[in-house]
Amino acid sequence: MSESSPLLEVKKISKRFGGVHALEDVDFRLYPGEVVALAGDNGAGKSTLTKIISGVFPPDSGEISFQGVQISLANPQDARARGIETIYQDLALADNLDVGANVFLGREPMTRRFGLPMIDRKRMREEAAKTLDTLDIGLDRLDRPVRALSGGQRQCVAIGRALHWQAQVMIMDEPTAALGVPEQRKVLALIKSLKARGVGIVFISHNLHDIFAASDRIVVLRRGINAGERATVDANPDEIVRMMVG
């Protein structure tokens, strides 16, 4: 795959839920090292589209290509195995577990002690620390339950987990919601770091300020259709709002 080829591409994706047409012939492309924001009002189809990309829903029609190859995603595990990770607004972190255990959640390394298999907690913390250090995420202790962390720190752990498992596409659902201004800035800085690594990011937010601060391109959905897209540098918030509401 050349640098000018899409990392991820969906073509003519449609999805119905009973009588509701959630998506209709939606096209979407994401290139390496690019942040594409999905903008749209509630019910526009943003969540449905990202759930199809992440393997939660199968499309009724259309196709998905990843790294130039058409794929079919049976479930979210299938998407993760291909390098497509989703960071949901609720983060899907286990509050009672520490940082290392959350980074390896469901994929814990094992060791043997006294002839018995045991989870290798030391290795989990060491590898989690290395990953967070590469992103310049400073957590003084990795042995505390993540419930003790701030909202921004928890967001960093979720991003670090995706990077550790070599995600090439990250879907970020409202990553700055409910964060203070300094933590919002930290998350936006992390997004720039991920871009420099060639990670493609799908950025979903109702905050137009964050969309303009983080994205390279804005794709607007309205009532299940692609209402248009703009390069962020050529767009303005009023234009995007007009596209959202028709």
Per DSSP, helices labelled H in 32-88 are 46-53, 76-82
* Tally: H helices and E strands in the chain: 8, 12
* Domain-located, residue 7: no
| pLDDT at residue 241, rounded to an integer | 94
* Domain-located, residue 11: no
| pLDDT at residue 55, rounded to an integer | 93
* Domain-located, residue 20: no
Supply 238's token pair: 């009023």
* Domain-located, residue 1: no
| pLDDT at residue 189, rounded to an integer | 86
| Cβ 81 vs Cβ 140: under 8 Å | no
| Cβ 110 vs Cβ 119: under 8 Å | yes
DSSP 75: S
Measured in degrees and rounded to the nearest 5, phi and psi for residue 81 equal: -65, -25
Question: What is the largest distance, in Å, between two alpha-carbon atoms of the chain?
Answer: 67
| pLDDT at residue 162, rounded to an integer | 84
Question: What type of residue is 204?
Answer: I
* Domain-located, residue 13: no
* Domain-located, residue 17: no
Where residue 107 sits, what CATH number does that domain have? 3.40.50.300
Total of domains in the chain? 1
Average pLDDT by stretches of 10, the chain with 246 residues: 78 93 94 95 92 94 95 92 84 82 85 86 87 76 83 82 87 83 83 91 91 95 94 95 90
* Domain-located, residue 4: no
Helix axes 151-164, 121-134, angle to 10 degrees: 100
pTM metric for this prediction: 0.85
Q: How far is 97 from 46, CA to CA, in rounded Å?
A: 31
* Domain-located, residue 230: yes
Give the residue numbers spanning the domain of 186. Answer: 32-58+71-245
| Cβ 158 vs Cβ 99: under 8 Å | no
